[in-house]
Structure 1
Amino acid sequence: MVLNYIFIGFFVIAFVVALVRTIGYFFRDQLEAIGLVFDESDLYVFRDMVQSTFDMADTSIAIVLTLIGVMTFWLGILRVGEKAGVIAWLSKKIEPFFIRLFPEIPRNHNAHGAIMMNFAANMLGLDNAATPFGIKAMEQLQDANTNKKTASNAQIMFLVLNTSGLTLIPVSVMALRAAEGASTPTDVFLPILLATYFATITGLIFVSIRQRINLFNKTMLLVLGGLTIFVLALVTWLTQMPDNFAEKFSVVSGNLILFCVIVGFILLALKRKVDVYQTFIDGAKEGFNVGVKIIPYLVGMLISIAVFRASGTLDWIIGGIEFLVSWFGFNTDFVGALPTAVMKPLSGSGARAMMVETMSNYGSDSFQGFLAGVFQGSTETTFYTIAVYYGAINVTRTRYTATAGLFADFMGIVAAIIIAYIFW
């Protein structure tokens, strides 16, 4: 039901804002006297909104085609890993933690391995690999779901943790900053790590309270405490390295680990005398079928977001925030980077465009350019993920998934602003 209201809201709000802009254009002379400015772009806002539906329809299909290719490969590799026994071994190792985090999922369930692979790919900044693992995990969680049209507690917990986006290696953000000429592209590394960690913990606590999960038992405290120590140790180590080391470490380690996974799965399957190629093909077939299944969900959500953006509503939101912050007497420097933060839960490509635009307008070495990079790496494409993951399993009642995901995003944004001011 939440996605239903969000979908309707995007169109209705866009229509109202566009109507106000159009009417305002015809009364621009009178309105200018009270400080309201309208120009030629306001006259053609409905044209832009309609065009955005066609443009985003093309973009959506392009995204799906890319996703089908990626999923075809990675689901094939995942099937090889299953036959090699790696997924079962991984599931057994993480089971003590996961049976407390996902109490309704039976012991030795296949979903545990896919969830872990998804988390690992996200932490390494490898979004393309994370999505197939995530969809596979949702399909396996669906097996244990008693109400197939309604999101289960386990699916909500998994998706919220997924969208909170704990990132150890923000490769794409550092690459964009380098492309825009930033003197130190890796300066966003530690702020992103800390902001995403805070967002992940926030999302975990929010969902745990709703699902009455005890976070204070020994296993949960050991795992979360160990993760915290690991993050702090990584931060401490990297801060002692040369400025360009973090970027090189990120690029090399993330992709090296991922390719080791591929080769490891293949060699272990070979050792077990598995027909590796045929097993890969069997798993790869799922990628195509899932890709086709999510097209309506993805197209619907992305077009509604495109219309919302083309209406100018985002500009009004940012302008309103700047006015309020200024009215209360606070520093407004961070507002210039907010378009990236606001756009990221809606559209990954849109957020990247906003980040590049911010760096172009203010400079890649400006505070606004720096903060835009932190926003880009510390929040997740919540609506895209919800549409794709739930669409793949035909779940229509998502319960409080969007609320929890957006709350984690919001807290991540707040943390990013505070941390950016500290590091700047």
Structure 2
Amino acid sequence: MVLSRFWLAIFVSSILFVVVSLFSGNTYTIDFLLNGQKDDPVLVSEKFLNEIPVFIKDSIEKSEEKTYILNNVTTNPDTTYVYKNQTVKIYSGVQKSDGLLATAKSSLVDLIIPLIAYLAFFCGLMQLLIDSGASEKLAKKLSPVFSKIFPTVPKNHESISYMTLNFAANFLGLDSAATPFGLKAMQSLQEINPDKDKASDAQIMFMCLHAAGLTLIPTSIIGYRAAENAANPADVMLPCIITSFIGTIAAFIIVGIRQKINFKSASLVISLFTLIGAIVGLLFYINGLNLVEKNFFTANLSGLMLVVIIAFTLIFSWINEKKFTALKTTIFDSFVVGANNGLKTGVTIFPYVLAMLVAISMFRNSGLFDLISNGISFIASHAGMSKEITDSLPVAMLRPFSSGGSRGFMIDAMKTYGPDSLTGRLSSIFQCSAETTFYVIAVYFGSINMKNTRYTLGTMLLVDLICVITAIFVASWFF
């Protein structure tokens, strides 16, 4: 219900804002909202040739392209005058994201089709884990801990193994593998959900633990920083881990209090400190490497772990081939069945993803997001926050809505202020220590046709805010 109302609110408010802007003269055309492409120049006015300044008119008439560009500065959008069909079209700035129709197309071509391919492959592997008995063994080993975090999940339930694989994949930055594992976990949790139209406590806890985006090695962030010639591209890795880990703990505590989880459980405390110890130990190891060794380690760890998971699944299935025979199937046929289920899941979630992405497209292109963002930055600056921090806030604000959009802001911040500036580094931490909340909710709950997500959205947004505040303190401390 909350998600539905929020979706309606951003969609309707964006449309009203555009209509008001159009009739007040602040916006010249709204065609870009529907048909525009990201980074296209925005048409802001149209005049007759004799209505524009003389020096621009002379420049247009002398130009073979009948075009004149004013203030040709690479760091700022240019104002461009184009003479065509007896009028001069004036363009200024670029479009923030694809228009509504372009977003509808790209969500299928660039997002859903690749996602379906990932789902098919990894759901095929998961079917092998089920039929070979590997998921059952993993669930048995982890049940003592998971029974404390997810008390409503029966012991040794298959969802435990799926959640484990999902958390592990996210932790290692394996997004392509994490989503299929997570969707399988949600579907498995839905089977034991007494009210199919309302998110269960276990599903809410599972989703909220995603909110901080806990990742061991933010490979993509390191890559972007390296591309912008940062002195040490991996210097934000430790702040990212600290920020996302605090966010994850905060999510667990917030949801745990609401669900009355026993925090004094010995197994839970031991597991938490073991995890903290493992992370700290690995960080000490990484910090002891030189730059070349560190780059080699961070570049290969995630990929190596994915290969190990695939190899383990296939080898374990081969060793336990008799179990497949008892099920009157083969390893290959079992994989195909799982892949087919992944394909169906991808088709199911498409409408949910489409609905969310077109609303976000309208929200960004309408100018309403910029107005809110500028307002928050203005308030923050007058509250004593430094300009370096306020310049990075657009990344934090856009992150829950759009990973691609916030990534664009992050890259722009590094280009404008430098990758080694506080703004550049803080933007990187914002990007890697939070989740794309609205996309994740649309995908995960959409896969099970969930109608009532209860307090999931509010909690995930609260965790996003905690990550933002933590990132500011951590970045100020480190840099």
Contact 1:173 1:373 (C-alpha < 8 Å) held by counterparts: yes
- State the match for 1:49 in structure 2: 33
1:33-87 C-alpha deviation (Å, 9 max, x unpaired)? xxxxx6xxx333x333233111110121121101100000000011112222221
Of 450, 465, 473, the residue aligned with 1:410 is 465
AA matched with 1:83: D
Would you identify which runs of 4 or more consecutive aligned residues in structure 1 move more than 3 Å? 19-24, 243-247
Give the 5 Å matches for 1:6-405.
Answer: 6-24=6-24, 26=25, 42-44=27-29, 46-51=30-35, 52-62=99-109, 63-273=111-321, 274=324, 275-405=330-460
The structural deviation recorded for 1:23 is: 4.7
1:260-285 C-alpha deviation (Å, 9 max, x unpaired)? 11011101111112432111111111
Counterparts of 1:421 and 1:73 in 2: how far apart (Å)?
Answer: 42
Greater Cα shift, 311-320 or 293-302: 311-320
User: When the two structures are aligned, how many residues end up with a matched partner?
Assistant: 408
Contact 1:186 1:244 (C-alpha < 8 Å) held by counterparts: no
AA matched with 1:137: A
1:162 match: secondary structure: coil
Counterparts of 2:338 and 2:230 in 1: how far apart (Å)?
Answer: 42
Q: CA RMSD in A?
A: 1.5
Q: Which runs of 5+ in 2 are unaligned?
A: 36-98, 325-329
Calculate the TM-score normalised by the size of structure 2.
0.82
Counterparts of 2:359 and 2:295 in 1: how far apart (Å)?
Answer: 36
1:193-227 C-alpha deviation (Å, 9 max, x unpaired)? 10100110011111101111111211111111211
Contact 2:222 2:233 (C-alpha < 8 Å) held by counterparts: yes
Change (3 A) 1:280 1:361: same
Counterparts of 1:172 and 1:422 in 2: how far apart (Å)?
Answer: 23
Counterparts of 2:21 and 2:293 in 1: how far apart (Å)?
Answer: 49
Greater Cα shift, 227-236 or 367-376: 227-236
Tell me which of the two structures has the higher relative contact order, counting C-alpha pairs closer than 8 angstroms and 6 or more residues apart.
Answer: 1
Counterparts of 1:406 and 1:244 in 2: how far apart (Å)?
Answer: 38
Contact 2:381 2:390 (C-alpha < 8 Å) held by counterparts: no
AA matched with 1:50: L
1:68 match: secondary structure: helix
Contact 1:174 1:247 (C-alpha < 8 Å) held by counterparts: no
The structural deviation recorded for 1:294 is: 0.7
1:149 match: secondary structure: coil
Counterparts of 1:131 and 1:254 in 2: how far apart (Å)?
Answer: 15
Contact 2:147 2:153 (C-alpha < 8 Å) held by counterparts: yes
Counterparts of 2:428 and 2:100 in 1: how far apart (Å)?
Answer: 28
Counterparts of 2:355 and 2:34 in 1: how far apart (Å)?
Answer: 14
Change (3 A) 1:284 1:92: same
Contact 1:171 1:247 (C-alpha < 8 Å) held by counterparts: no
AA matched with 1:325: A
Counterparts of 1:176 and 1:416 in 2: how far apart (Å)?
Answer: 19
The structural deviation recorded for 1:173 is: 1.1
1:4-27 C-alpha deviation (Å, 9 max, x unpaired)? 111111112213433443355x3x
Work out the percentage of aligned pairs sharing the same amino acid: 37
Contact 2:118 2:176 (C-alpha < 8 Å) held by counterparts: yes
Calculate the TM-score normalised by the size of structure 1.
0.93
AA matched with 1:49: L
Counterparts of 1:43 and 1:335 in 2: how far apart (Å)?
Answer: 30
1:107 match: secondary structure: coil
